[in-house]
Amino acid sequence: MNNTKSEVKRETEETKVSVNLNLYGSGNVSVSTQIPFLDHMLKSFGKHGGLDLKIKAKGDTEVGEHHTVEDVGITLGEAIKEAINRDEIKRFGNASVPMDEAICNASVDLGGRSYLVMQSPEGVVSGISTVLFKHFFRSVCENGDITLHLYVYGDDPHHFIEAAFKSFGRAFKEGLERSDIEGTPSTKGKVRRF
């Protein structure tokens, strides 16, 4: 495969984020975002996705977690977009992960179009509004050119969100598998961008 690694940095007046990514790693993950629950979720995504992933973020968490969560999602999406070679992968992946009473089915299309379908649980987990995680996934999809469907059932917001991250990681890993079809599997052929 061609280069499957990337390093992306993003700095604004609100946040400073860096992401180092190897799509075909061994699950070696290091995350520090000042938001412990987000760190835990990103570690789950990296481990289940088989990625080598290093994320560092500092943000204005004194005014809330929104800016940091969003900018980490944007930067991770940009790192994925830079590292992925869409002509060499299966493109589609699907995984279902149960977490006690919760379960999530993730379906991913890494073919180069961005879209997110996800219901968001109402509530707070570890001091963070669960709505922020839908915002995170949207930022990853829009900046990584990923289509992602997350269908989650569960009563415990922690299990709900964790099942989403783990199933996304596993579906993502499947979509990255080497394709036996030359080029991006699509009836459109190669799309020219002007």
Is residue 82 assigned to a domain? Answer: yes
Is residue 36 assigned to a domain? Answer: yes
Is residue 101 assigned to a domain? Answer: yes
Domain count, the chain: 1
> Which mean pLDDT values do the consecutive 10-residue runs of the chain (194 residues) have?
86 97 96 97 98 97 94 98 94 97 97 93 86 96 98 92 97 93 60 41
Is residue 183 assigned to a domain? Answer: no
CATH classification of the domain holding 168: 3.30.230.40
**Which H or E run includes 21?**
strand 15-22
- Sequence length of the chain is 194
Q: What is the pLDDT of residue 179?
A: 81
Is 0.85 surpassed by the pTM of this model? yes
The residue range of the domain holding 132 is 5-175
Closest CA to 127 of 46, 47, 44, 34: 34
**Distance in angstroms (rounded) separating the CA atoms of residues 45 and 171:** 10
Is residue 182 assigned to a domain? Answer: no
| 1 burial level (CB within 10 Å; 0-12, 13-18, 19+) | exposed
Is residue 121 assigned to a domain? Answer: yes
Is residue 184 assigned to a domain? Answer: no
Which residue in this structure is represented by tokens 């993950």? 29
Q: What is the pLDDT of residue 187?
A: 62
Contact 185, 90 (CB under 8 A): yes
Q: What is the pLDDT of residue 190?
A: 56
Distances (CA, A) of 185 to 87, 144, 177: 8, 18, 13
Report residue 107 as tokens: 């379906």
Which residue in this structure is represented by tokens 């996705």? 49
Closest CA to 95 of 148, 36, 131, 34: 148
**Distance in angstroms (rounded) separating the CA atoms of residues 186 and 194:** 19
First-to-last CA distance in the chain? 26
Q: What is the pLDDT of residue 3?
A: 74
Is residue 83 assigned to a domain? Answer: yes
**Distance in angstroms (rounded) separating the CA atoms of residues 178 and 66:** 36
The one-letter code for the residue type at 65 is E
